[in-house]
Structure 1
Amino acid sequence: MMTSRSDAGWLRRRVGRELRTLRERAPERVGRRISTSEAATELGCTQPKITSMEQGKYRLQWRDVRDLLELYGATDSEKTRLVNWAKRSNEPIWWAPFSEVVEDWFAELIGGEGEAEREITYEHGLIPGLLQTRKYIEALTRASPVVNQQYHDLVVGLRIERQHRLFDDEYPLKLEALIEESVLSRPVGSEGVMREQFAHLVSLGNYDNIDIRVVPTSAGAHAAIDGSFILLEFEEFQPAVYLQQHPVVGARYSDEREVADVYTDIAKQVRDVAYSQEVSLELIDSMSRDFSG
């Protein structure tokens, strides 16, 4: 799958992790262990180059990737996929104009979004970023103690550009947004900002690839009550999870199977207690009157 939001850096890191996994599994595939030094000898390069490739820190040459995959006993489908990613990993990064405000952990998220088939986001504090209006984003940015106001326009622009993934011409991201009911009562900006934000949510709910569900306050303590998260699901490999924390601390992006499995189950449990999309959009529309002045 190729989208308009594919991310070269994310692809390099993903290829690197898979190369390392395949090398470590070589005994199962080719009947012998292969060290990074042996791989370097076979490739005719230095051992640090192999290590850098596995860490996603080296500009990939697709022929190198092809030769390593052959050495490690990769399947034909693995070769096709990883060589394709290696070729794409040298393309320009779409968020380069905003790089001054992109932390490493956020680069992992937006890189993953570029390749994901589906995203499930649970939010208990704010409207999810992919669904925010420009004025809502501007109000948040002005209120944030960690955003240097000289970068205000970059932060706003990045978030708006990130939303374009929902409207990709060929592969729009499928989004399921689980939003706490209390979020709808929290004013961000003026009453006009909130009315516009609610109208935007109702409008987005008409898209086939966007599912917006409100988690009622009456649900009480549920599986995700401890914090917001984003779960990314892919066509060709296991899900990844982005765990949101306080902006000063940062966040964590994990593609460990155990972590992904836990949050896949949590998402299901939250979905089970949430309103349907139809009921949720009716609620959002009715609550907009609370900001009618």
Structure 2
Amino acid sequence: MPNWPTLRRRRLARELANLRESVDMTIEDAAARAGISPSHLSRVERALVGVRVPVVRALLTTYGASPSTAATLVEVAQTATQRGWWHRYAGSIPDEYATYIGFEADAARIWNFELISIPGLLQTERYTRAVLAGGVARLAEEEIERRVEVRLRRQALLHRENPPALWVVLDEAAIRRQVGSPETMAEQLNHLVTIAGLPHVDVQVLPFAAGAHPGTPGAFVVLGFTDPADREVVYIETMAGDLYPEGDADVQAAVQAFDRLRATALGPDDSVLMIRDTAKEFA
């Protein structure tokens, strides 16, 4: 089973590193007192590997953590080992995609810019099949079925109790490029109009007339979380693999780019009108 990182593991890693630094202790000293190797502790603090609860307790004792802090972090350590529904698809989906699904499931807000296609969270089943069939990888029918299933299961978060706030900005090309049959596109765009009517969803279209814009390099997602201490996660899908830029400047650049995109795009009402009219053209 892949060792996919989660938001909780990142949070635990950050807090353990902060506690060690607060007592001015080296990784070597802390690892020796906790009975683990320095290389393992280094990987734990970078959220590259999980950590067992007994080791967490040993580290907290080593750092002299307060009872309340210790109780909180032990609870985080326990939940960090719990597997989400997507783990059953190990081997069927890329590790980077599984990592993204885990972050997405924990997000309080999702900002998504798409340049040429409808975002996965808003895709219909027929549209998803057409996207997968026309992708870079030549997938067997069985593989396409599994990936369609994963995508549809992801969409359940939009209808759960306390769903994330989703804000999508689409380049006009995304609603005009025919994916699948005209009927598939009409169905997809009408579905987009329906989802845009949910109180926690905003959809905007960036018209061709806007010219060059900050999203010209490609699609990206910014995931925000409830705890202010959890920094935004930026996700960029590329042919060479999925990227998670972690530098402060990179994260801030993505946030600013999305702010400029939604300021340039049509308002939500005008965007829905354009999407509805485009659906009629396909129909």
Check whether TM > 0.5: yes
| Aligned twin of 1:267 | 258
Distance 1:252 1:15 in 2: 20
| Aligned twin of 2:231 | 238
Distance 1:72 1:115 in 2: 28
Q: Does the CA-based 8 Å contact 1:118-1:232 persist in structure 2?
A: yes
Q: Does the CA-based 8 Å contact 2:4-2:95 persist in structure 1?
A: no
2:159 paired with 1:167: yes
Matched position secondary structure for 2:223: strand
1:167-201 deviation digits (Å, cap 9, x = unpaired): 222x3121100001121111111111111101111
| Aligned twin of 1:123 | 114
Question: Mind listing any 5+ residue stretches in structure 2 that lack a counterpart?
Answer: none
Question: Mind listing any 5+ residue stretches in structure 1 that lack a counterpart?
Answer: 1-6
Of the three residues 6, 12, 23, the one matched with 1:10 is 6
Distance 1:185 1:195 in 2: 10
Deviates more, 1:11-20 or 1:116-125: 11-20
Matched position secondary structure for 1:120: strand
CA distance 1:52–1:115, shift in 2 (3 Å):
same
Deviates more, 1:150-159 or 1:59-68: 59-68
Distance 1:262 1:81 in 2: 33
CA distance 1:211–1:52, shift in 2 (3 Å):
same
Distance 2:69 2:278 in 1: 50
1:205-226 deviation digits (Å, cap 9, x = unpaired): 1111111111111110011211
Q: Does the CA-based 8 Å contact 1:211-1:277 persist in structure 2?
A: yes
1:222-246 deviation digits (Å, cap 9, x = unpaired): 1121111000111222111001223
Q: Does the CA-based 8 Å contact 2:5-2:49 persist in structure 1?
A: no
Distance 2:221 2:194 in 1: 22
Q: Does the CA-based 8 Å contact 2:234-2:246 persist in structure 1?
A: yes
RMSD: 2.4
Distance 2:232 2:267 in 1: 24
* 1:202-281 superposed matches below 5 A: 202-236=193-227, 237-246=230-239, 249-281=240-272
Distance 1:124 1:235 in 2: 28
Distance 2:189 2:159 in 1: 19
Distance 2:45 2:100 in 1: 19
Q: State the TM-score, normalized to the length of structure 1.
A: 0.85
